[in-house]
Amino acid sequence: MAEDDDIPLTGGIRQKLVDTKQAWARDGRLLTGTPGDPTRDRLPPGQTLVRDWPVLDLGVQPDVAPDRWRLRVEGLVQAPVRLTLPEFMALPQTELVNDIHCVTQWSRYDNHWQGVRARDLIAMARPKDEARFVAFTSYDGYTTNVPLAEFVRDEVLLAHSWEGEPISRQHGGPVRVVLPRLYFWKSPKWVTRIELLREDRPGFWEVRGYHNNGDPWLEERYG
């Protein structure tokens, strides 16, 4: 959580869920052993297609009122960025359609998003030459990580809308990250901080047995 933003939280960490998912990592649950090919296979190995959008979180849901939301881009940058929601909405907007794939086995095709391209946001912050990795922090305390090169791909958004409507609180609104090329735990809800780093910093699931990269077609579920 941002140090200067007192955001109400409901619920608490569901330790039983965390323990179960760690057991999945130890047991290699859902692994087929047959990598897919994203140029040929739309559905990654071991995945099941769904029509709804399942709600998954750690049990904590921050109530981030639009006027309280802040986004910081900092760390190894020359021009740290701090945005309110109106300032974020005033940036150039992009609409994208992509598929999403959750490590818990479900995939959903043709999601319509609107938001700000990650590469545009990072360009505003002017990364230093030594910046190589990104660490995300969410208002619920969740963390995850990706290489900077992965975050600035064309299809990566900080999204505020899904299917033409504001993203709901349960799905990470007012703004969440969308990295469609990776398993969806790499796309944090309720994002508030993006930190550029010289060295990688594994996040919540990465230190609990999940893969540091998370490529669905390579079945990088667990590390």
Q: Which amino acid is at 74?
A: E
Q: How far apart are CA 124 and CA 136, in angstroms?
A: 17
Count of CB atoms situated within 10 Å of the CB of 101: 23
Return the CATH number of 9-218, one of 3.90.420.10, 3.30.390.30, 1.10.1200.10, 3.40.1440.10.
3.90.420.10
Q: Which amino acid is at 214?
A: G
Task: Please list the alpha-helical segments (H only) found in 137-194.
Answer: 148-151
- Its pTM stands at 0.94
Q: What is the pLDDT of residue 1?
A: 41
**Cis (ω within 30 of 0) for the bond into 180?**
no
Q: How far apart are CA 22 and CA 18, in angstroms?
A: 6
Count of CB atoms situated within 10 Å of the CB of 125: 20
Tens digits of residue pLDDT in 103-150: 999 999 999 999 999 999 999 999 999 999 999 999 999 999 999 999
Q: What is the pLDDT of residue 5?
A: 57
Count of CB atoms situated within 10 Å of the CB of 29: 16
Give me 62's structure tokens. Answer: 């921050």
> Residue ranges of the chain with pLDDT lower than 50?
1-4
